[in-house]
Structure formats: C-alpha cells, structure tokens
Amino acid sequence: MKCTVCRGPAVMEVRRHNGSFCRDHFLKLCRDQVAKAIKDFDMLDHEDRILVAVSGGKDSLAVWDLLLELGYQADGLYLGLGIGDYSDASGDQARSFASERGLHLIEVDLPTDHGFDIPSGSRAAKRVPCSACGLSKRHLFDDAARRGGYDVVVTGHNLDDEAAVLFGNVLHWQTEYLGRQLPVLPARNGFPKKVKPLVRLGERETAAYCVLRGIDYQVEECPMAAGNRHLGYKEALNAIEATSPGSKHAFYFGFLARASDRFTGEAEADQEQLSACARCGSPTTGDVCAFCKLVERAGGRPAPEPVPVDLGRRR
C-alpha cells in the first residue's frame, strides 16, 4: 500500500477519499480537512479566544492539537462528571496533554463544584444518564465560556458523531433538532458561538491522528453509554459505509446543503422566547434552566453567583 500523494509506504487507507497515506500526508490530510471545515463554515478567526471542550478522548485532544497546529490560540475545559474510574482516567489524559504542551486547562468538577455526579444524579433525577450528562455539559461549557470571556466553544464532534445524531433526528423527524444541527451555531441570546471543526473527519481518522501524533487518549468508551441508541445508529451507518464508502459524508453534507434550511424555522422560533434562569442567570425558555432543575432533583448544591448574561433578543 503506497501513499497516494508521494508513493512512499502508506500507514492509513481512507476509502472515503479513495486513497492511502503515509504518516506525514495523513496528518496533512487531517489538517487540511479541519482547515477546510473552518473556512467553509466560517468557524474561527485567528484572533478568537477559543475554548476547547476536552473529554480526554481522541476527538477532543485531536481537535485541540489540530487547532494549535493551524495557528489558533485555544485553552481547554475539562469537566469531571464523576463517572468513577472512567472520569479519573479521562481527567488524567486531559491534564497530561495540557501540561506536556504548556497549555491552559480549566477544570470544573461536577461532584466538587455542584454536589452531584452523573451516575447517582441521573438516577435521583430519573433521567437517562446520557441525557443528564449532555445537558450538564452544554450548560457548563456555556457557563465557562461566558465566565472566561471566550469568543467560541469548540467541540470534538466528528463526522461519525454528526451522522449518527442526524440519523437519530431523522428517524424520529425531530424537526426542531434538525433545524439546529449545524457545524456552527452563532453566538446569540447569551449562548456562546459553538463550532465543530472535525465534521470532515471520521472517528477512525481522529484515532489514527492521535496515534501518529503520539497523543495518549482515553480509549475506553463511557460505561454509561453502553447500549444507548446513538451507538446503534452508529452501527447501522457503519454497515452502510462499509458497502458504500462516503455514505456518511454524503448524508451529513447533503443534509447541510439541501435540507437543513427547511427545518430552521422551528429552531429559531424556540430561541425567541428566552429569559434569564432565576437561579444561575443562564438563558432558558422557562423560569429555571434545565441544569438548575437537574441539580435540585439530583440533590446537588445551588449554583454559585450568577454571571450577568446578555440575552440579546430577550423580550
């Protein structure tokens, strides 16, 4: 197997791109794909203060590394979710990555700072763990970005993630989620801008990127996620991708090009009706935001001092 670019020995085949690549040209492919995503969707400026949501897994460490390689300034944010050994090991990977490179890593710990963890908190609140975790992460990313004055939050969602989420949203025709499933969400109504620079890379590629760059990452999947629907959607799409390479890319980018804007109406209507959470000040459609409700039901501690939020179009 030879590198499609230089004919040297290849280390990685990417069927979707109908090519094989040596180490250097594979790493270049990854940088080029990320640069293209950033440019095509107007994700980042070189002057932006960027906050990367870092889990310690391959995707978040790859995106942090790639942004630095591409000349962006980016700090990291690690959230301790209190999921036993999994969280301990994930935190260690995030901290090692940052300290070895002299990077700034902000840490928020759910048990220490908010008085509950995902396993017991989700049980107490009678929520599916992945649902409680997702809403906590969204809230804490937004909150940290506002407190730290960051321009944009970067997440490590890759093509496989986005295609699987899209598949789930399409299977249930969740039209309001479809209207919001974009690689860039602009800052508005008190929410920071959020971008997904890895949407042109699959998870096989982000894993290979980390290995080839010598980045140690948390290889285990979250134990709470085992058997969830999202993983079933990934498997279904993997079977299709194996027969028709490029299917996931066509599915996700075809959606963005030809269908996404048919669903934006509902998502925008939702956003018109935000006010400040009575407890933490975050933008919310109710009186109290979903995170503060979760904290209460999970037996956690009330939010620290609210941070003033500019709700923009608030009525």
36 φ, ψ to 5°? -65, -45
Residue that the structure tokens 């321009």 belong to:
151
Helix (H, G, I), strand (E, B) or coil at 13: strand
Q: Is 257 in the site for its own copies (CB under 8 A)?
A: yes
188/229 with CB nearer its own copies: 229
Q: Which stretch binds its own copies (CB under 8 A): 7-15, 124-132, 225-233, 290-298?
A: 225-233
Q: Which stretch binds its own copies (CB under 8 A): 100-108, 130-138, 226-234, 307-315?
A: 226-234
The distance of closest approach from Cβ of residue 183 to its own copies in the complex, given in angstroms and rounded to an integer, is 16
Exactly one of 259, 287, 302, 312 binds its own copies (CB under 8 A); which one? 259
Q: Which of 11, 8, 1, 5 is nearest to 212 (CA)?
A: 11
The distance of closest approach from Cβ of residue 247 to its own copies in the complex, given in angstroms and rounded to an integer, is 6
Q: Is 170 in the site for its own copies (CB under 8 A)?
A: yes
Q: Is 269 in the site for its own copies (CB under 8 A)?
A: no
Q: Is 1 in the site for its own copies (CB under 8 A)?
A: no
Separation in Å, CA 202 to CA 7, 59, 164, 197, 238: 24, 10, 12, 12, 11
Exactly one of 97, 116, 141, 263 binds its own copies (CB under 8 A); which one? 263
Q: How far apart are CA 205 and CA 62, in angstroms?
A: 10
Q: How far apart are CA 281 and CA 287, in angstroms?
A: 10
The distance of closest approach from Cβ of residue 255 to its own copies in the complex, given in angstroms and rounded to an integer, is 6
Exactly one of 18, 73, 244, 273 binds its own copies (CB under 8 A); which one? 244
Q: Is 264 in the site for its own copies (CB under 8 A)?
A: no
User: 262-271 b/e with 16+ CB inside 10 Å = b?
Assistant: ebeeebeeeb
Exactly one of 46, 258, 305, 308 binds its own copies (CB under 8 A); which one? 258
Q: Is 175 in the site for its own copies (CB under 8 A)?
A: yes
Touching its own copies, residues 67-106 (CB under 8 A): none
The distance of closest approach from Cβ of residue 291 to its own copies in the complex, given in angstroms and rounded to an integer, is 28
Q: Which of 154, 314, 165 is nearest to 251 (CA)?
A: 165
Q: Is the dihedral of CA 21, 25, 26, 29 positive or negative?
A: negative
Q: Is 173 in the site for its own copies (CB under 8 A)?
A: yes
Task: List the strands of the sheet with 105-109, edge to edge.
Answer: 105-109, 74-80, 50-54, 152-154, 193-195, 184-185
User: Interface residues with its own copies (CB under 8 A)?
Assistant: 170-173, 175, 229, 232-233, 235-237, 239-240, 243-244, 247, 250-251, 254-255, 257-259, 262-263
